Amino acid sequence: MTKTALIQRSLNQKSSIAVILFAFLAAGCTQETQNKLGRAVQNWTGTNGILDIYAGEKLVNRFIGIDKLSTAVATQGNSPRPYRFGYGIFDANQNLIADPGEKKVYFEFSDYSTSYIFYEHPNDDKN
CB atoms within 10 A of CB 113: 10
Q: Model's pTM, two decimal places?
A: 0.58
CB 67 within 8 Å of CB 43: yes
In this predicted structure, the answer to whether residue 110 has a pLDDT above a threshold of 60 is: yes
Report pLDDT digits (tens) over 25-49: 556 666 666 666 555 554 444 568 8
Give the up-direction half-sphere exposure of residue 97: CA atoms within 13 A in the CB hemisphere: 5
Find which of 7-16, 28-37, 49-58 is predicted with most confidence, using mean pLDDT: 49-58
The mean per-residue pLDDT over the stretch 50-56 comes to 89
The residues, ordered by sequence, that sit 6+ positions from 11 with a Cβ below 8 Å of its Cβ are: none
Q: Quick one: CA dihedral 36, 38, 41, 45, positive or negative?
A: negative
CB atoms within 10 A of CB 69: 19
Indicate the SS3 state at residue 16.
helix
Indicate the SS3 state at residue 126.
helix
From 10-19, 75-84, 91-100, the region with the lowest mean pLDDT: 10-19
CB 82 within 8 Å of CB 112: yes
Distances (CA, A) of 37 to 29, 44, 70: 10, 11, 14
Report pLDDT digits (tens) over 56-76: 889 999 999 988 888 877 777
Extents of the domains making up the chain: 1-45, 47-127
